Amino acid sequence: MEFALPPPPVPAVPVIGGYAFPVRRIFCVGRNYAAHAREMGHDPDREPPFFFTKPADAILLPGHPMPYPPGTRDLHHEIELVVAIGVAGADIPVATAQAHVFGYAVGLDMTRRDLQNEAKKLGRPWDMAKGFDGSAPVAPIHRASETGPLERGAIWLDVNGGRRQAGDLEELIWSVPEVIATLSGLVGLEPGDLIFTGTPEGVASVIRGDRLHGHIDGLTDLDVTLV
């Protein structure tokens, strides 16, 4: 088929050791740490996980500054473990979900919180609160064959050198295999899909000039400067 316009470039994230991971879709899990659920005013009981999406080209590559997005006065950070899918599957059992993981990275789910709160109040979608340009900064991906399954380990975010968020991967309400199993029962997962797995408590506003430094044990740190 001949295209009417030149096709856009494929968004991709660098992989430690070479190559790049082509991004097909970005899925995000909401309220997957109990303390964060509480700070957002929700009951942290183990209800079924829910998901929202970001466009693939919301990826912000390592080393690139993040322009402060328009339409908001309350931009929030959310540090997250990102899971990269390498093997397709649908209705994936929890017991075999790990086999579908290509690798892991540190990511930020940046959120226009004022737009999200207004959307919640009016019963509208979150798209413009979550899926804006540059809203998904991601550090280089580490292959799961080298890290093994990430089930525990510190996850934290500093802003201008001060600790804002801190937790441990073992505090996830829904584990990575459980998230994959649930999501794959709703959509078929394909190589190139990314899953942001949720954030610990401590989300807060950032402004132009702030320097964000995110960490998960065993992975490459993520540095983002707002401009």
Q: Rounded to whole angstroms, how far apart are CA atoms 85 and 189? A: 7
**Chain centroid offset of residue 16 CA:** 18
Q: For residue range 91-111, what is the model confidence (pLDDT) as tens digits?
A: 999 999 999 999 999 999 999
Q: Rounded to whole angstroms, how far apart are CA atoms 109 and 199? A: 8
**Which stretches within the chain are classed as H helix?**
34-39, 113-122, 127-130, 144-147, 176-184
Task: Say which residue the tokens 């740190």 belong to.
Answer: 221
Q: What pLDDT is stored for residue 49 in this prediction? A: 87
Q: Where are the domains of the chain?
A: 12-225
Q: For residue range 181-225, what is the model confidence (pLDDT) as tens digits?
A: 999 999 999 999 999 999 999 999 999 999 999 999 999 999 999
Average pLDDT over residues 156-167: 98
Q: What pLDDT is stored for residue 47 in this prediction? A: 76
For residue 123, the tally of other CB atoms under 10 A from its CB is: 6
Q: Which are the contacts of 162, defined by CB distance < 8 A and separation ≥ 6?
A: none
Q: Rounded to whole angstroms, how far apart are CA atoms 156 and 217? A: 9
What is the CATH class of 12-225? alpha beta
Q: Rounded to whole angstroms, how far apart are CA atoms 158 and 225? A: 12
Cα-Cα-Cα-Cα dihedral sign, residues 27, 29, 30, 33: negative
pTM: 0.95
